[in-house]
Amino acid sequence: MNDQLILVTGGTGFIAQHCILALLNAGYRVRTTVRSLSREAEVRAHLKAGGVDAGDCLSFVVADLTADEGWDRAVAGCAYVLHGASPTPTGEQVSEEDWIRPAVEGNLRVLRAARDAGVKRVVLTSAFGAICAGHKAMPRPFNETDWSDLTGPVWPYQKSKTLAERAAWDFIRREGRGLELSAVNPTAVLGPVLGADYSHSIGLIRNMMNGQPGCPKLNCGVVDVRDVADLHLRAMTHPAANGERFLAISGESLWMIDIARILRRRMGAAAAKVPTRVLPNWLVRMISLRNPVMKGAISLLGINLNATSEKAIRLLGWAPRPSEEAIAATAESLIRLGLLPGSKQAA
């Protein structure tokens, strides 16, 4: 049994909770940050839904990305930090600053506290959005050498992830003083939902299952959240992971209509509302005038965002599930937890 203490930031997050599950199952003790201790019961319930009663192996500390308070206490005694807390598309963001400032400053707060506490390595949960945004179609799959081009049309979320990751690497180079850093850059993260508070990527599946009118001509990679958590743990301890980025995708990227077809094939009658047609680009542009989330995707219409995880597979021995399994697991969990209209939570 491994008795090391690991900090996972942003314990209410989808990826963070699966990282906590993976760590607890591997025998680690875990501390996680939340903005309010009122969320502790919810987090513990989600972990229980994932098969783990955390008990005394999990503790909570209040810390916010926008303030210094709490971070010294959060990292104290920790061997490693998995840092995934970051602004996500909630609809609350009004300006670019609402995205960028907490992402960049939050990364620096965590890194500074980890360095001063003698943490060995921080694994940063970045995003594919720090790799692919602002580019037209590439002649090859995207990989870890690519960075988003912020001079092009880039959604604020993708811009925040790019600037935050760059700031983290700059910090390590200038003032890390021996602190190690690895980054995990997942594509769209799917897989088993643990409760009603889940990542924005899950909305892709939920909207299709709910009967959205059609599929925009958008392309994305898919990866199972359980495999993203596994990659975090590998990046945490593997000697070859220090100073490296790891792109996470399962197989080839998919068009939205491909994902819809997988749902209809795998879910049968439960997927009766899943769309069967591709929406024309002109209609998507019209919809985006009233839908800010869709507006951020306009620049990606028709662009193949294929990528490769060859590096994680080769260096770390990572072996992700097929994308079809991640897609089906998402839909199955939404139904099981009663998170789709007309579905009831299983007893």
Catalytic residue set: 161
69-98 burial, b at 16+ Cβ within 10 Å, e below that, comes to ebbeebbbebbbbbbbbbbbbeeebeeeee
Q: What is the DSSP letter of 217?
A: S
In whole angstroms, what is the distance from residue 300 CA to residue 295 CA?
A: 10
Residue with tokens 């390590």: 172
Q: How far is CA 287 from the centre of its chain?
A: 26
Residue type, 230: D
C-beta of residue 67 within 8 angstroms of C-beta of residue 96: no
Q: Give long-range contacts, CB 8 A cutoff, 24+ apart: 89-92.
A: 89/157, 89/200, 89/293, 91/292, 91/293
Strands (E), the chain: 5-8, 29-34, 58-62, 80-83, 121-125, 180-186, 188-190, 219-220, 222-224, 245-248, 254-255
Residue with tokens 């965002």: 305
In whole angstroms, what is the distance from residue 146 CA to residue 74 CA?
A: 33
